[in-house]
């Protein structure tokens, strides 16, 4: 590198600031500064906001970086405070091809000039017709016909962090010097000799229990980290359980009393570890934007914790930061204020082999020791500039430090791939180091139950390659598309290969036909534009359950089948022309291999629930009447539901025995869903039920009769934190199968059942599933054909009844809202009555205060007159007496003190009155705000009533159309008309209540105005009384001056008492000085108050900055 000539004046400054650096440090700095500059120049063409403001949306749309000419549709939903969900649709219909993916940051602007940068946010969903975005601003206030553009905001986030970390590494500080020695000079890491010196005695049992669930390499990693003084590198080969290892490491370090900083380059990797930690109830604080955090982890974020604990001061916020020994964030999030002062014992960096050296350095400044977890044989750091890549910018910190083998621990036992896939990884990359965790893992294959039938359909000889691809015994397949052909297509938006995308979609459909679940298939591509092409084809196929994502987003994920589209098809050697890579149990990514027994149980129960519910609905509709307790499909359904609810139920130990009962979680429903209180009370009142299981069975039957079983169980599975008290984490009710079953239960709302719970022996029944009812014969098929007409009529009847039920539900909810509004109005009236009582009390206190002030004034005047009389009498009586003079002066001084105390009491009373005035004004403002909110609620309720009116009209029209088909509809129409009349009456009542509320508001406003006027008058009267007291004090001072003059004349007559008189005069002067000091103290008190107010304002401003 060429030397740089600095100005002469800068040379001593540079020498002074770099004198602590070695030549190797300066060389490292120069090299990385050059590489960062080259990389920054490569990204300037697409980074920053300049292109958003300067390039038209149509041009950016062609490049795939923008979606223009869109309008806002549907309503805006406020997801949380400051987060609004918007829906945008293209004016011409379909959304054009774009690189926007879920999670991308966007800038929303108007197509018109002057509407730039209206809001920023994140893409929530992209489909063929709509784009939904979660924005930080509500745009519903803009005109409905406003035309928007959505620009992909790549921005310049993170470009300054590498430069900042490079500068900190060269800083003259102990932390930076230690890192320079380890990273630049390759100083060997140090280790402790004995584990007992770092392992507290009270933590030994906990650590031993954690180590029981780990294999030998993982245990060795735990020991290496605890013994390290500087750093440890953990090489996590594919499927060896890096996330499990990190989770166990954090648990052990936390048990030993160490503070831990957990970081990674992506939020997904951080949250994967935290999801496992949450199951072990390890406390942690998650830093970062809520939009980037996993939904199950958001309750641990700084924002949610501050909201739940009502943090309002800097001290409370500091306590939150210091209370959690584990803090988690991305490598980009280390600029948070918590890292300015807090130093962690350990820093764990996941995916360290994918992170650039200087990005990885950021968290290390905040820790005493660090652990890097990764595998440099997998994804390297992304470098755009070829020259910077050649200079070594793609070398991660993990790879740089790996040359110190004494600090490296390798995880070699994997549980993801079978032996054939593992042999490929061993041959290409890992030199035979990988080994299977068990024989079951080694021999596992993907399960395709419909494969034989599919192979018969693909019997043509030209499709033999498909049979090989679908064969589970061929777990790795490379497909060469050279002769198809499948050329790549490059455009401004990126590189794509439509032919290859169609092949991917075709293979995906075959795997699904062969019996593989769509959720068990993953599609990977290194190019975002190819992902968009595949996603668009999936949307046309109407299949959204197959996950399509980039390679880095699938890092560490498990799927049964992985299809990798490499896109490139070129003679250029640098293009690496491998087009399609189909992996069963994927190399380093997918693994059907070992099936969890509990997962198999959940799948079997889900299938049984589907069959039972489907069979019950079909047979009930063909049966054509209300079901009773003896109906076999209904009995079978209750047995299946009982088994589903019992799966994974925790064993509870009682005094005499162990028991498992489903009554506990079902009893919880009434706390979450008030309408279920009636069922729970009915079950408890049944005399024949003696066991919790019998009560649970009765509860299920009553819920079915109410047609509320789906609603009750849905509210139960949402509260998984409460369910964890009754169920294991792998139970059906805790997993997605429970949600699927609850969704299926909605179909039972078309069934009418009249079950006699009292007559059944629910305590002693044996719940055994009968599988014979699901075996079908040819007679069943013929019977279906004969019942087509009956089924059609019953469908119409059930449809009308279901609509009527929904209407009844809507009316019930409206009644509930009306009741809630009545309670709120009652509460408001009570608050008004309390306010009026407070006003009356204040008026009485005001009257009492005035009376006391008048009494004090009269007493003061009386004292003044008595004082004057006493002074005259004493002057005449003790004219020539020294003792009389002393007593007279003492009495005058005492009276002066009493008057000063009286003045102080009056000032205190005035301060109390002013503070009471401010409190009442604040209460009236809150009352006004509450009244406005009630008015808004009434307006919303009126709108809902209008919507219900429209629904009633529509229902009435549908019933008239179907009048000729079914005579029974006449009765339904009359019932609907009654409902309409009831709703009209309810609406009139609500309007009357609205008028009453408005009248109450006007009365409250008038009362408030009156109260304000009274307090103004009271304040003025108190001010006048205060002025009068001041005048009285001035008069007293004048009298004292007269007394002094009299004393002076008395001195001329009493020569012998001159010394005494001079002494008295000195005491009088001391009183005057005390008065001046009193005035000075008052002035100083005012200054101190102003200083306190300024300091409080500064503290509030500091707290707001910290919260930002």
Report the relative pairing of strands 231-236 and 367-374 from DSSP bridges: parallel
How confident is the model over 270-288, as a mean pLDDT? 89
- At residue 261, φ and ψ (nearest 5 deg) are -110, 115
Q: How far apart (Å, rounded) are the C-alpha atoms in residues 982 and 709? A: 28
- Tell me if 1014 sits within 8 A of 845, measured CB to CB: no
**Beta-carbon contacts of residue 1076 (< 8 Å; ≥ 6 apart):** none
Integer CA distances (angstroms), 828 to 933, 1001, 1011, in order? 11, 10, 19
Copy the structure tokens of residue 938.
């009434």
pLDDT given at position 777: 42
What angle, rounded to 10 degrees, do the helices at 357-364 and 174-183 form? Answer: 140
994: tokens are: 């609205």
Contact at 8 Å (CB) between 409 and 387? no
How wide is the angle at C-alpha 1030 spanned by C-alphas 1025 and 1034, nearest 5°? Answer: 145
- For residue 200, the SS3 value is coil
Count of all residues that appear for the chain in the document:
1108
With 0-12 / 13-18 / 19 or more C-beta atoms within 10 angstroms meaning exposed / middle / buried, residue 642 is: middle
The predicted structure's pLDDT at residue 60 = 82
CA distance 747 to 617: 7
Query: Which run of H or E residues covers position 69?
Result: strand 66-80
807-859 pLDDT, tens digit per residue, is: 566 666 666 666 767 776 777 777 777 777 777 777 777 777 777 767 777 77
Tens-digit pLDDT profile for residues 853-885: 677 777 766 766 766 676 666 566 655 555 555
Instruction: Give the span between the Cα atoms of 181 and 178, in whole angstroms.
Output: 5
Q: What is the pLDDT of residue 372?
A: 95
Residue range 50-152 forms a domain whose CATH class is mainly beta
pLDDT at 764 over 80: no
Nearest-10 Cα torsion for 1004, 1007, 1011, 1016: 110
ω before 792 within 30° of 0 (cis)?
no
pLDDT at 269 over 80: yes
Inter-residue contact 975 to 955 (CB < 8 Å): no
Q: For residues 763 and 784, which has the higher predicted lDDT (pLDDT)?
A: 763
The residue among 184 and 890 whose pLDDT is bigger is 184
- 461, pLDDT greater than 50: no
Name 839's Cβ contacts closer than 8 Å, sequence gap at least 6.
920, 1007, 1011
Question: 583 pLDDT exceeds 50?
Answer: no
Q: Does domain 598-775 have CATH number 1.10.287.130?
A: no
Chain-centroid distance of CA 97 in Å reads 32
**In sequence order, which residues have a C-beta less than 8 Å from that of residue 650 and are 6 or more positions away?**
660, 725, 726, 727, 728
Token pair, residue 519, equals 């959720």
Lowest-pLDDT range of 34-48, 92-106, 225-239: 34-48
Q: Measure the CA angle with vertex 991, ends 986 and 997; round to 5°.
A: 125
Query: CB under 8 Å to 674, separation ≥6 — which residues?
Result: none
pLDDT, tens only, 1070-1097? 777 777 877 887 787 788 777 877 777 7
Q: Which of 109, 97, 106 is nearest to 132 (CA)?
A: 106
408-411 sheet: strands from edge to edge: 285-286, 326-330, 260-264, 344-350, 367-374, 231-236, 408-411
Q: How many CA atoms lie within 13 A of 3 on its CB side?
A: 2
- In this predicted model, what pLDDT tens digit does every residue of 988-1030 receive, in sequence order? 776 777 777 677 777 777 776 777 677 677 767 777 776 777 7
* Predicted pLDDT at 313: 75
Burial class (CB in 10 A: 0-12, 13-18, 19+), 391: middle
**Among 55-59, 552-556, 762-766, 901-905, the least confident range:** 552-556
**Helices (H), ranges, 200-264:** 204-211, 216-227, 242-255
As a whole number of angstroms, the distance between CA 77 and CA 14 comes to 57
Average pLDDT over all residues of the chain? 77
- Cα distance between residue 720 and residue 731, in whole Å: 11
Tell me the domain boundaries of the chain. Answer: 50-152, 176-411, 442-594, 598-775, 795-1048, 1058-1108
Q: Nearest 5°: CA angle at 443, between 440 and 446? A: 100
Residue 665: other Cβ atoms inside 10 A = 21
| End-to-end Cα, the chain, rounded Å | 43
Give the orientation angle of helix 160-169 with respect to helix 23-43, to 10 degrees: 180
Q: How far apart are CA 479 and CA 471, in angstroms?
A: 14
Burial letters 43-62, b for 16+ CB under 10 A, else e = eeeebeeebbeeeebeebbe
The answer to whether 290 touches 122, Cβ cutoff 8 Å, is no
Residue 657's pLDDT band (cuts 50, 70, 90): very low
CA dihedral 912, 913, 914, 915 (to 10 degrees): 50
Q: Do the first three CATH levels of 50-152 and 176-411 match, i.e. the same topology?
A: no
Cβ atoms of 179 and 135 within 8 Å: the answer is no
List all residues 6 or more positions away from 322 whose beta carbon is below 8 Å from its beta carbon: 342
Q: Which two structure tokens, joined as six digits, stand for 1027?
A: 């002025």
Mean pLDDT of 432-445: 85
Q: Is the pLDDT of residue 118 over 70?
A: yes
The maximal CA–CA distance of the chain, rounded, in angstroms, is: 147
CATH, range 176-411? 3.40.50.300
Burial (0-12, 13-18, 19+ Cβ within 10 Å), 923: middle
- Using left for φ > 0, alpha for ψ between -120 and 50, and beta otherwise, residue 77 falls in beta
Structure tokens at 676: 């279920």
Residue 1013: the pLDDT is 76
Q: Report pLDDT for 710.
A: 86
Q: How many CB atoms lie within 10 A of CB 1027?
A: 10
Q: Which residues pair with 652 in a beta bridge?
A: 659
Provide φ and ψ at 98, rounded to 5°. Answer: -145, 155
Distance CA 349, CA 779 (A): 65
And the tokens for 239? 């499927």
All residues at 6 or more sequence positions from 118 whose CB lies less than 8 Å from its CB, including other chains: 108, 109, 110, 137, 139, 142, 148
In this predicted model, which residue has the larger pLDDT, 492 or 249? Answer: 249
CA–CA separation, 422 vs 238, rounded Å? 9
Q: Which two tokens stand for residue 261?
A: 């900083």
Sign of CA dihedral 1076, 1078, 1084, 1089: negative
pLDDT band at residue 581 under the 50/70/90 scheme: very low
Residue from 201, 218, 371, 206 nearest 280 by CA: 206
- Residue 868 burial (CB < 10 Å; 0-12/13-18/19+)? exposed
Burial class (CB in 10 A: 0-12, 13-18, 19+), 12: exposed
Of 899, 904, 896, 895, which is closest to residue 1082 (Cα–Cα)? 904
Determine contact, residues 1022/913, Cβ cutoff 8 Å.
yes
Write out pLDDT tens, residues 364-411: 999 999 999 998 888 788 888 888 888 889 899 999 999 888 999 999
C-alpha triplet 820, 825, 828: angle, nearest 5°? 125
C-beta of residue 66 within 8 angstroms of C-beta of residue 151: yes
What is the b/e burial string over 536-573, where b = at least 16 CB atoms within 10 angstroms of the residue's CB?
Answer: bbbeeeeeeebbbbeebbbbbbbbbbbbbbbbbbeeee
pLDDT at 363 over 90: yes
- Cβ atoms of 477 and 582 within 8 Å: the answer is yes
Q: What pLDDT, on a 0 to 100 scale, did the predictor assign at position 289? A: 78
The pLDDT value given to residue 881: 52
Least confident of 13-27, 89-103, 497-511, 959-973: 959-973
pLDDT tens digits along 500-525: 888 898 889 888 888 888 888 989 88
This prediction has a pTM of 0.51
Residues 946-994 pLDDT 10s: 666 666 666 666 656 655 556 665 666 666 667 667 766 777 776 777 7
Helix (H, G, I), strand (E, B) or coil at 164: helix
- The token duo for 467 is 């049979």
């Amino acid at each position: 590198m060429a030397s740089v000539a600095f100005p002469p004046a800068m040379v001593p400054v540079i020498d002074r600031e770099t004198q602590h650096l070695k030549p190797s440090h300066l060389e490292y700095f120069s090299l990385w500064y050059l590489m960062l500059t080259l990389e920054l120049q490569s990204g300037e063409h697409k980074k920053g906001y300049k292109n958003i403001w300067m390039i038209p949306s149509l041009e950016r749309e062609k490049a795939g970086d923008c979606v223009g000419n869109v309008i806002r549709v549907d309503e805006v939903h406020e997801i949380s405070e400051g987060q609004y969900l918007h829906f945008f649709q293209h004016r011409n219909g379909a959304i054009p091809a774009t690189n926007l993916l879920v999670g991308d940051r966007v800038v929303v602007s108007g197509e018109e000039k002057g509407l730039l940068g209206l809001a920023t946010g994140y893409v929530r969903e992209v489909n063929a017709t709509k784009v939904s975005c979660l924005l930080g601003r509500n745009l519903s206030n803009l005109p409905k016909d406003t035309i928007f553009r959505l620009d992909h905001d790549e921005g310049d986030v993170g470009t300054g962090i590498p430069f900042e970390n490079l500068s900190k590494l060269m800083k003259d500080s102990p932390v930076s010097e230690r890192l320079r020695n380890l990273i630049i000079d390759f100083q060997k890491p140090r280790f402790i000799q004995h584990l007992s010196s770092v392992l507290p005695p009270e933590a030994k049992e906990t650590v031993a229990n954690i180590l029981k669930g780990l294999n030998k390499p993982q245990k060795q990693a735990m020991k290496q980290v605890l013994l390290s003084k500087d750093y440890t590198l953990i090489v996590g080969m594919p499927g060896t359980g890096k996330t499990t290892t990190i989770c166990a490491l954090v648990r052990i370090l936390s048990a030993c009393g160490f503070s831990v900083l957990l970081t990674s380059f992506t939020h997904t990797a951080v949250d994967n570890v935290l999801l496992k930690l949450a199951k072990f109830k390890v406390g942690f604080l998650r830093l970062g934007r809520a939009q980037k955090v996993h939904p199950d982890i958001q309750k641990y974020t700084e924002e949610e914790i501050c909201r739940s604990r009502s943090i309002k001061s800097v001290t409370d916020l500091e306590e939150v930061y210091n209370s959690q020994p584990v803090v988690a964030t991305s490598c980009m999030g280390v600029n948070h204020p918590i890292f300015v002062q807090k130093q962690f014992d350990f820093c764990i960096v996941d995916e360290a082999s994918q992170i650039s050296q200087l990005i990885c350095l950021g968290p290390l400044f905040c820790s005493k020791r660090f652990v890097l977890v990764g595998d440099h044989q997998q994804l390297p750091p992304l470098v755009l500039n070829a020259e910077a890549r050649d200079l070594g910018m793609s070398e991660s910190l993990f790879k740089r430090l790996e040359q110190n083998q004494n600090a490296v621990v390798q995880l070699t036992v994997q549980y993801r791939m079978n032996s054939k896939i593992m042999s490929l990884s061993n041959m290409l990359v890992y030199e035979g180091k990988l080994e299977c965790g068990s024989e079951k893992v080694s021999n596992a294959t993907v399960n395709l139950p419909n494969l034989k039938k599919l192979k018969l359909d693909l019997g043509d000889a030209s499709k033999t390659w498909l049979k090989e691809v679908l064969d589970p015994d061929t777990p790795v397949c490379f497909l060469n598309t050279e002769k198809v052909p499948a050329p790549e297509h490059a455009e401004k938006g990126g590189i794509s290969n439509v032919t290859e995308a169609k092949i991917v979609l075709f293979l995906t459909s075959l795997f699904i036909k062969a019996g593989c679940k769509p959720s068990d298939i993953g599609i990977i591509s290194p190019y975002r534009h190819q992902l968009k092409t595949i996603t668009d084809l999936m949307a046309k196929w109407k299949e959204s359950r197959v996950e399509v994502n980039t390679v880095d987003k699938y890092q560490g994920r498990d799927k049964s089948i992985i299809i990798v589209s490499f896109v490139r098809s070129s003679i250029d050697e640098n293009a690496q022309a491998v087009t399609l890579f189909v992996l069963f149990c994927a190399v380093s990514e997918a693994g059907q291999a070992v099936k969890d027994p509990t997962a198999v149980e959940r799948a079997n129960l889900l299938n049984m629930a589907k069959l039972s519910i489907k069979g019950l609905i079909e047979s009930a509709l063909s049966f054509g009447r209300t079901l009773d307790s003896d109906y076999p499909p209904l009995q079978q359904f209750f047995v299946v539901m009982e088994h589903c609810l019992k799966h994974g139920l925790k064993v509870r130990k009682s005094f005499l025995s162990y028991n498992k009962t489903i009554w506990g979680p079902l009893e919880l429903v009434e706390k979450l869903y008030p309408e279920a209180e009636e069922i729970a009370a009915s079950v408890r009142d049944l005399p024949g039920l003696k066991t919790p299981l019998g009560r649970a069975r009765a509860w299920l039957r009553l819920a079915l009769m109410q047609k509320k079983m789906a609603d009750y169980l849905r509210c139960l599975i949402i509260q998984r934190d409460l369910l964890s008290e009754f169920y294991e984490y792998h139970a059906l009710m805790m997993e997605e199968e429970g949600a699927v079953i609850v969704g299926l239960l909605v179909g039972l709302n078309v069934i009418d059942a009249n079950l006699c719970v009292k007559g059944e022996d629910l305590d002693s029944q044996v719940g055994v599933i009968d599988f014979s009812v699901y075996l079908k014969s040819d007679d069943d098929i013929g019977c279906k054909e004969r019942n087509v007409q009956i089924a059609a009529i019953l469908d119409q009847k059930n449809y009308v009844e279901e609509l009527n039920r929904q209407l009844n539900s809507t009316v019930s909810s409206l009644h509930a809202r009306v009741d809630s509004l009545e309670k709120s109005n009652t509460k408001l009236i009570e608050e008004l009555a309390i306010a009026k009582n407070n006003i009356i009390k204040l008026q009485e206190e005001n009257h009492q205060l005035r009376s006391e002030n008048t009494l004090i004034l009269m007493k003061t005047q009386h004292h003044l007159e008595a004082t004057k009389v006493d002074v005259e009498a004493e002057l005449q009586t003790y004219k020539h007496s020294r003792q009389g003079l002393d007593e007279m002066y003492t009495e005058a001084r005492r009276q002066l003190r009493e008057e000063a105390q009286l003045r102080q009491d009056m000032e205190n009373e005035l301060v109390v009155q002013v503070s009471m005035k401010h409190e009442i004004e604040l209460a009236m403002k809150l009352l006004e705000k509450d009244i406005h909110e009630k008015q808004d609620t009434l307006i919303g309720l009126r709108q809902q009533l209008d919507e219900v009116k429209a629904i009633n009209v529509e229902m009435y029209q549908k019933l008239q159309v179907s009048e000729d088909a079914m005579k029974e509809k006449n009765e339904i129409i009359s019932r609907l008309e009654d409902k309409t009349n009831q709703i009209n009456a309810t609406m009139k009542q609500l309007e009357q209540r609205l008028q009453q509320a408005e009248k109450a508001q006007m009365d409250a406003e008038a009362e408030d105005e009156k109260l304000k006027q009274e307090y103004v008058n009271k304040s003025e009267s108190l001010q006048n009384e205060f002025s009068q007291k001041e005048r009285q004090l001035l008069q007293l001072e004048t009298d004292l001056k007269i007394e002094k003059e009299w004393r002076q004349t008395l001195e001329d007559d009493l020569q012998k008492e001159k010394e005494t008189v001079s002494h008295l005069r000195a005491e009088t002067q001391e009183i005057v000085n005390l008065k001046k000091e009193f005035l000075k103290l008052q002035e100083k008190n005012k200054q101190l108050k102003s200083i306190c107010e300024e300091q409080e304002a500064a503290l509030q401003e500091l707290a707001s900055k910290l919260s930002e």
